[in-house]
Structure 1
Amino acid sequence: MDVPGVVSGALGEESPVARIPLKGEDVLFLTPTRTLVYRAEGLLSDETVEEYLHDAERVSVREGRRKAKIELDYGTDGTETMEVPASRVDDVVPPVLAGVLNAAGVTGPGESVKGVYRFSELTLVVTSSRLVKHVGAAAWDEDYESIDYGDVTAFSAEEGSVASTLVFGTDGHTERIKVPNESFREVKEAVEEALFAAHDVSTPAEFAQLHEPEEPDPTPERDDMGFADSGIAPIEMSGADDDAEEQTRSETGASTATTTDSEPASEATTAESRGECAANAKDEERAWRERSRSEPERRGGDERREQNDRRRERTRDRTPAETREPEPAPEPSIPDDELLAELRDILVAVERQEDALASHSDAIARQRAELDAQEDRIAAQRDELAEQRQRIDDLIAAIRD
């Protein structure tokens, strides 16, 4: 990079990262912290170097017919104005603004500026990692908004009659930015290129697929866990088993008694046989009495259980209807057609107001441009008068010599 000697002395240990020709031999050099404007030697002036630090709090741009003025506001340290040809302002503003954003911590190391788009009251700075938005007369100040590409999950565009809208969707939030139609396509393509590159995709379809919500698995999971693993004890049918055992014992006793009756009568002739028969008869009588007592008790227990079951069923059938909670009455709903019509009217009114504000801003911008043009004409006339005065002084000096 060709650097004049006077510029090398002003750079010190820094190296220029950009070189922008201005007019004639005038050149603008940019470093990470400063902007240096080299003015070549002229008929009435020597070569000079103007230095502008990037730690400004506010950047404003005013364009005239011949010259453009970039104003850097340093707060309590004052304001400095950089003059460049009007034909080179679009080449100068982006790198200068990139240096200011980097110095303010808005952009990070290695983050590059892809484009700067200035409208009447809106400035958009498209970088490789974010979109910086500023609303106001200034190109940038500390009252700005930033949309990080990493937070964006949806991106679309809405076309309008005067201006179209860029729609950014993040988690739980939607950001809308209106851009005039004459520049909308250029801005949209720049934003898409930077956004897709940040997400490592190349098309809108790939970006949308990247952020589609995952669908739940329609197949329900089977629960193969058994009772032993779940800690739930199996239901014991103890009552039914006891009844079955009791019935078995009763049948066994009846069978034993029948067998005793069928013994041969010949054994009753002896005293021993008669004693055994008497004992057996007593045992049989006792067993019969026990069976007689246990059978009604068992039947009574079964009857009581059946009565309790029937009583509970009748109680459920007799539950009064008034004890049930009344169902809530449906809330009156507004018809969808009426709601959509109201929203459409509100949207139309908002767009009309925005169009009116845009027209007003354009009128102010035209008036400002006319004032700047008048200032440029006055400055040009002053320069011509100064040159004429210098020529007159040179002629007078030559005549005296």
Structure 2
Amino acid sequence: MAARFLLARAAGHHRATQTALQLVNSPAARSGIARLATSSSVALHPSKRCVSFTSAGIQKTWFSTSPSPSLPHTKQDHEQDKSGDLESKKDVFKIEKDTWAERHAPEWMLPYIQVARINRPAPTFLLLWPCYWSIAMAAPAGQLPDLKLLALFGTGAFIMRSAGCTINDMWDKDFDKQVERTNKRPLAAGKLTYPQAWGFLAGQLSAGLAVLMQLNWYSVAMGASSLALVATYPTMKRFTYWPQAVLGLTFNYGALLGWAAVHGSCDWSVVLPLYAGGVAWTLVYDTLYAHQDKKDDVKIGVRSTALLFGDKTKPVLNFFSAAAIAGFGTAGYMTGLDWPFFMGLSGGAAHLAWQVNTAKLDDPINLQARFGSNKWFGALMFASVVAGNVV
């Protein structure tokens, strides 16, 4: 008890000091301890859980076998905790596990919001922007892109990204349980059953089909063919170190579909470079994202470009960044876009260089920020295409 009292006094917590004194049974002992501490020079040694004090003619050290749960940490405690590996990992994935949905959504709805990632909307833009780039490039010279098509593709991107997440979680339930970033997902955590997930997925795909049927038949056939990629992408990490490339083929399919929706066919001299540039772009942002899970991936035996590239990640991603810019530039040139597009493309190149070369490959918070910044890269490219077409 004396140790607890002195720990409290040394840390300067008046209320904790008074509480500790009240718990000393002997009034004489209580008075003596208080007087001794008042007249002493008291020093706290949090790393050793002890207090030492010195007064006239006496020196004494008190040891505490366990920290008092009622006492706040001192500044020194916090600094030491912060430097420890455990503490530094404590809230590293809070951005994914503590969103508006966890705080405000009805309990019955929360698993569906989480499995569809409605609470994490940023990647929807990564699916959406290639569609918008293609629609804008397909617009007649001097005209803005078709607003009805932009609205349809915006709705479709939201639905199909959510459906893809549901499929991914159904495939990866057992893996997700073993990965720190994903172990709270509804299927992995047992908050959603497979029958419930199947029913939800059926609703998502039906809604996606309803949107797709608003397009021409060429686009309907092309859009339906993309389901093979959507369904098989989650399995790729089991067989190849290039699942990010398959994700690129899936997420950038809108580069083909957008042009087809405008013209009823594809100009391959435009859409193939645009598609290839999008795949290279996806390899950049999703490789950075995959570095968050690399330790868990090694443990459970799944593969990624993060593991494949290892300490060569940044040089390789700089190459893919250049390939992405080359693909976008070729598509813009073949479409006849004017100088504003190429000015914006230069800004996009600078953004990718910043993104790759400032990434901290062992810092999940930094990697999440770099990943999220790609929605602004996509917006810049879209604005550049529109400006290059109307000038």
Which of 1 and 2 has higher RCO (CA within 8 Å, sep 6+)? Answer: 2
TM over 0.5: no
Give the TM-score normalised by structure 2. Answer: 0.24
Q: Which has the higher helix share?
A: 2
Q: Which has the higher strand share?
A: 1
Give the TM-score normalised by structure 1. Answer: 0.23
